[in-house]
Structures are given as structure tokens and as C-alpha cells.
Amino acid sequence: MLRKINMVALGRRDTLRLAGAGAVAFVTSSLLPNLALADSASAAKAIKKIIGDKATQQGRITLELPQIAENGNTVPIAFEVESPMTEADHVKAVHIFSEGNPIPNVASIRFSPASGRARAATRMRMAKTQNVIAVAEMSDGSVFMAKAEVKVTIGGCGG
Amino acid sequence: MAKSKPRVKVPKSVKKGEVFQVKTLISHKMESGQRKNKKGKKIPRMIINKFICTYNGTVVFESDWHPAISANPYMAFYIRAEKSGTLVFKWTDDRGQTYEKMASITVN
Amino acid sequence: MGVKRYFGLFVVLAVVAGASLYGFAAKAKDWGKYQSGELRSGYTYASKETRAMQDDDFANPSSIWMDQGEELWLKAQGKAGKSCASCHDDAAQSMKGVATRYPVFDKSLGKLKNVEQQINICRKQRMEAKPFKWESNKMLAMTVYVKGQSRDMPVNVKINGPAAPFFEKGKAQYFQRRGQLNLACKHCHEDNAGNLARANLLSQGHSNGFPLYRLAWQRLGSLHRRFRGCDKNIRARPYGYGSDEYVNLELYLAARGRGLPVETPAVRN
């Protein structure tokens, strides 16, 4: 957790000059003091609730997220799971979780062989810099997982 | 927006077996339940929590949404073209209120 | 004590400066239509993902309001039983170019009027319908629909003739220090465009994309809403929606951005 930086102590010109150094200040002040945020443990718990004790494997999932989110309230997310999407071999569901939001569950998406492609895109909210996790359940019972970190900056020019 | 307005984008015609993309968008605040009003009281959660797409009556895509889905939710996905017919899109919110939109698809 | 206090800040900035310089170096590129000489549209300061949202007409959240605007255009409203289409027919023809010219001088008013005000003038005088409230969904839908018909056309407002004194007022406002922070528009948008205010990248502050979907608002919003936000940011008392001050400023901004394309409806942070 980064220390709260007291910007008021700096003069206005100094603030603009510092900002002008081209540095992105990943400073989270205590702007979200009252949110009880999830963490990797609660995300793990939420994942377990859906897939049980199954072991998860790496691979097959491509998770598309920006490295830095322009605004945490609208972060485009897309994912695709490699699969022939036939009756015999398809993706049953993909569950998205966040490690740093008040609630770890983001969405559960259920596919069918008629989907043709296990790919979907949406926009999600992110309370702060955190990992986003995608868990894919396959028709044969196997489970795959992918994780990506997105940096979320707190703005400055709200209005 | 007092009334949620859905919009969908579906190709007019596709070849049989072709996997085509569907884009959907609906206006909705997706009130997360985390925000507080000016008096410091929590604004109750009110979101769209379910989205279903049926193709000639069969569910081809289904999704459960939680408060982390952004306002004015956008969702894009794919469907394999089988027969000409109707795609029905249905959104359901926490109160059970539903919003529907239909689109026809011609499969050659 | 002073050094210790800010040590953490300097470390963070130093570590991140390297990474961010790499990221921001990418901004020095040819922006095509979104650049006109020294002028750079807000589009060029937005992230890749935000630009993609604007580029996709369907996925652009503004499309919700565009749809509603089209519905309202065709709907008969008011005692005269007319719709916008009754007089103006196909908006794609009749409204083309409007966004490139407004705000304009209105002889009977003796001052400038912008698109929102023109919409309400039409509603009152021609349709005998109730005016739309500023920043209501209906007003935003109507404005974005009308202005959206000029998409990609270069902004080309007139600042001579009767509009001249109002242009001067708008210009004076742009350069006037105000608020507790004692800043003028120019301090951020001229002197510091491309720099960061906290974690927000400052743009040149052009108006060519309004009304636009602002991620921070999670809603479509007008230029005057943004003005009010800017004024609040510098701890100045904001003027009212549709105030003379903001309409004059709107003309100055449009003139300042002449040559940039109308991007309504844009998507910004």
C-alpha cells in the first residue's frame, strides 16, 4: 500500500512541474477508505465455490486487458478459450474474478457448442490495481485458469 | 435513462456453419451498491444480473453479471449459423424486470 | 525532515518515470485527421482502449443516446403536432454542417446561441412543445443526434461580424485566472497539455467531440457540464448551463479548434 502523499503542501506550480516530469504517479491516496476490498484469498474462495476442489491448469485462455486502465469504472476485457466447440469437446463456462474489488465475482459466461467460438468481450469495473482471473470449465471436466494484472490510476480531473 | 434501452448488432445474412459475432449494448446504471449518497447513506444495488440469448428458441449464450460489470453494459459473443430464424436477447435486473430485443438472421 | 517526507514520492516517480517515458513516447506519432497543425484532438490523448470505444459506432456507449435522438427527431411533440422531421426532413441532409458552425449569433436574442438553445427555440416557437432541460437525457440525445450528423467535418465557426464581441468575451474568459486555485483554462490546456495533473493526462481541451461519453461520468454529457467540472476543480463557482459566459467560451473553443474534425459523439476518460 503506497503512502498517502500530501499534495497540498506542494505549491501549485511545483505540482504541475512534478507532474510535468512525465511521471505517472501510481499513488492511491485514501480515496477508498470505506470499501472492504477483496483480496487474493477471497477471490480464491469464490473460485473454489464455483469449481470445487478441481486442480486448475495453465494455458488455453487468452485474456485481453489493458496494462493501464484509463478509468477504473470502464475497463474493456475480452477472453478466448482454445476449443473446437463440438458436442464432444467444448467450453462449458468461463468465470471472471477480481482480486481487489469489493466482491470477487465479476461474471460467469456459459457457452454451448452452438457458440462456435469461446470468446466474449465486455467492460468491467476495477476499484484499484489488481489481478483479474479467468477460469474456464471444459466439457470433459478439466479446468483452466489465466491471470492478468491491470494498473488502475486514481484520476485528478474529475469534474 | 428512465427506461433501459437495448441495442443489438447482428449480421443480416450469413452462410450455414459460419461463426458470426453478435454485439449487444443496453443503457443501465448498474448501481453497484457501494456508492453513498450525499447524506452518507448507501445507494442500494440495482443491476442487470442475467443476460440470455436464444437462437430459434434454444439458449446459445447465457451470462450472470455482478456489480463489477460497467454501467451501460456491453457484451459481444459468437454464434454458429445453423438455420434462418430469430435471435432473442433478454436482460433481467435485480427486481426481475426484463428487457428484450429480437433480431432476425438469414442463413444461406 | 523535508527530504525524508518526500523521499518515497521521489522514488516512486523516478522508478515510474522510465517506464512511463517509454509509454508516452508512443504519443509522438502521426494522428491523421485527429491532428491539425499544432492542434491535437482529445482523441490523441486517450488510451488505445478508449479510442477503440469511440471508433466502434455500435460499441460506443453514446450510441444509446444517438438512437434516442433519432426517435425524438421523428416523434411529433407539442401543441403544433410537429416533429423535427416535419420541418427538417432527413437529419443527415438538413443537419449536416450544423456542428461545424455553432454557436452562432442570433439577431433576435442579440447574442450567441448554441445547439441546445436552438433546439429549445425550435421547440418553443415552432413545435409549441416544452423545452428540454439541460443535461436531461432527451436534451443530450437530441444534441448528440443533431451534432453527430456533422461527424468528420472540420470545425469552421465564424468569429467575425456580430459574433466578434462575443468571441472576444469568450477568449478573455479562457485566459482569466479564477477560483481558489487561481488558474485559467490556459494553465492546463495550453501550458501543460501532454503533462499529468495527478494521474490524468491533460489534453489541449478542445470541444470538437461534445456531447461525449465520459468514462468518469458513465454517461453522455455536454460541454457545459465539463466547463462546470473544470470550474469546480479549480474551486471556482461554476456558471449555469447555457449561461452567456459558457456560450461565449464555447465559441472561443470552437474557433481555437478550427480544423479539427467534429467527433461527436466522442468517448473520453
Dist CA B96 CA B104 (whole Å): 26
The answer to whether the Cβ–Cβ distance between C199 and A2 falls below 8 Å is no
Dist CA B12 CA A15 (whole Å): 54
Domain boundaries, chain B: 6-107
Give φ, ψ of C105 to 5 degrees: -80, 135
Count of CB atoms situated within 10 Å of the CB of A21: 15
For residue C6, pLDDT beyond 70: no
Dist CA C154 CA C190 (whole Å): 21
Question: What is residue A1's predicted lDDT score, i.e. its pLDDT?
Answer: 38
Between the CA of residue B65 and those of B2, B68, C120, what are the distances in Å? 21, 8, 39
Beta bridge mates, B9: B23
Q: How confident is the model at residue A34 (pLDDT cuts 50, 70, 90)?
A: very low
The answer to whether the Cβ–Cβ distance between B25 and C59 falls below 8 Å is yes
Dist CA B47 CA B91 (whole Å): 10
Task: Establish whether this prediction's ipTM goes over 0.90.
Answer: yes
Question: What is residue C82's predicted lDDT score, i.e. its pLDDT?
Answer: 95
Indicate the Cα dihedral angle A123, C215, C196, C198, nearest 10°.
-90
Count of CB atoms situated within 10 Å of the CB of C160: 7
Considering CB atoms only, which of C8, C13, C230 is closest to A3? Answer: C8
Is A102 near chain B, with CB under 8 Å? yes
Residues of B with Cβ-Cβ distance to A74 under 8 angstroms: 70-71
Dist CA C225 CA C143 (whole Å): 14
Question: What is residue B26's predicted lDDT score, i.e. its pLDDT?
Answer: 96
Query: What are the grid coordinates assigned to C6, written together?
Result: 518526500
Considering CB atoms only, which of C9, C20, C215 is closest to A70? Answer: C215
Segment C229-249 mean pLDDT: 96
For residue B66, pLDDT beyond 70: yes
Query: Picking from A31-40, B1-10, C66-75, which range would have the lowest pLDDT averaged per residue?
Result: A31-40
Tally A–B CB contacts below 8 A.
92
DSSP string, B35-75: -B-TTSPBPPPB-EEEEEEEETTEEEEEEEE-TTBPSS-EE
Tally A–C CB contacts below 8 A.
117
> Using only C-alpha atoms, what is the Rg of chain B?
16
Is B4 near chain C, with CB under 8 Å? no
DSSP string, A78-144: EEEE-----SSS-EEEEEEEESSSSSSEEEEEE--GGGSSEEEEEEE--SSSEEEEEEEEETTS-EE
The set of residues, in sequence order, having a beta carbon less than 8 Å from that of B30 and lying 6+ positions away, is B47, B48, B67, B69, B70, B71, B72, B73
Dist CA A35 CA C122 (whole Å): 48
Query: What are the grid coordinates assigned to B64, written together?
Result: 450472470
The set of residues, in sequence order, having a beta carbon less than 8 Å from that of C41 and lying 6+ positions away, is C31, C34, C35, C206, C208, C209, C257, C260, C261, C263
> Which residue in C has a C-alpha nearest to residue B31's C-alpha?
C218
Q: Which domains does chain C have, with CATH numbers?
A: 39-59+160-268 (1.10.760.10), 63-148 (1.10.760.10)
Question: What is residue A40's predicted lDDT score, i.e. its pLDDT?
Answer: 84
Residues of B with Cβ-Cβ distance to A103 under 8 angstroms: 66-68
> Which residue in A has a C-alpha nearest to residue B48's C-alpha?
A107
Dist CA C198 CA A27 (whole Å): 9
Residues of A with Cβ-Cβ distance to C226 under 8 angstroms: 159
Nearest partner of A152 among A82, A59, A71, judged by Cα: A71
Burial A62-85 (b: 16+ CB within 10 A, else e): ebebbebbbbbbbbbbebbbebeb
DSSP H or E run through C3: helix C2-25
Question: What is residue B81's predicted lDDT score, i.e. its pLDDT?
Answer: 96
The answer to whether the Cβ–Cβ distance between B70 and C63 falls below 8 Å is no
Question: What is residue C1's predicted lDDT score, i.e. its pLDDT?
Answer: 47
Neighbours of chain C (3+ CB pairs under 8 A): A, B
Across chain A, mean pLDDT equals: 81
For residue C15, pLDDT beyond 50: no
**pLDDT tens string C41-90:** 999 999 999 999 999 999 999 999 999 999 999 999 999 999 999 999 99
The answer to whether the Cβ–Cβ distance between C218 and B72 falls below 8 Å is yes
Nearest partner of A147 among A114, A80, A98, judged by Cα: A98
Q: How confident is the model at residue C197 (pLDDT cuts 50, 70, 90)?
A: confident
Dist CA B23 CA B4 (whole Å): 17
C88 CA: distance to closest CA in chain A (Å): 35
Nearest partner of A142 among A92, A80, A86, judged by Cα: A92
Dist CA B10 CA B84 (whole Å): 13
Considering CB atoms only, which of B2, B7, B70 is closest to C64? Answer: B7
Question: What is residue C3's predicted lDDT score, i.e. its pLDDT?
Answer: 53
The answer to whether the Cβ–Cβ distance between C13 and A3 falls below 8 Å is no
Dist CA C21 CA C13 (whole Å): 11
Burial A43-60 (b: 16+ CB within 10 A, else e): beebbeeebeeeeeeeeb
Residues of C with Cβ-Cβ distance to B9 under 8 angstroms: 58
The answer to whether the Cβ–Cβ distance between B29 and C218 falls below 8 Å is yes
* SS3 of residue A56 by DSSP: strand
Quick check: C226 and C235 in contact, CB under 8 A? no
For residue C165, pLDDT beyond 90: yes
**pLDDT tens string A10-24:** 444 444 444 444 333
Dist CA A24 CA A4 (whole Å): 15
The set of residues, in sequence order, having a beta carbon less than 8 Å from that of C257 and lying 6+ positions away, is C39, C41, C155, C206, C207, C208
Between the CA of residue C254 and those of C99, C109, C172, C260, what are the distances in Å? 10, 21, 15, 9
Active site residue ranges of C: 230
Indicate the Cα dihedral angle C30, C35, C36, C38, nearest 10°.
-80
Q: How confident is the model at residue A155 (pLDDT cuts 50, 70, 90)?
A: low
Quick check: C268 and C214 in contact, CB under 8 A? yes
* Residue to substitute from B19, B26, B77, interface A, most A β-carbons within 10 A: B77
Question: Could you tell me the pTM of the whole model?
Answer: 0.85
Dist CA C163 CA C149 (whole Å): 24
Quick check: A99 and A131 in contact, CB under 8 A? yes
Nearest partner of A145 among A79, A83, A56, judged by Cα: A56
For residue B93, pLDDT beyond 90: yes
Q: How confident is the model at residue C259 (pLDDT cuts 50, 70, 90)?
A: very high
Is B71 near chain C, with CB under 8 Å? yes
The answer to whether the Cβ–Cβ distance between A116 and B61 falls below 8 Å is no
Considering CB atoms only, which of A103, A105, A120 is closest to B77? Answer: A120
**pLDDT tens string A74-115:** 999 999 999 999 999 999 999 999 999 999 999 999 999 999
Residues of B with Cβ-Cβ distance to A108 under 8 angstroms: 63-64
Dist CA A129 CA A29 (whole Å): 13
CATH tag for B6-107 (out of 1.10.340.30, 3.50.50.60, 2.60.40.10, 3.40.50.300): 2.60.40.10
The answer to whether the Cβ–Cβ distance between B1 and C61 falls below 8 Å is no
* SS3 of residue C212 by DSSP: strand
Question: What is residue A27's predicted lDDT score, i.e. its pLDDT?
Answer: 36
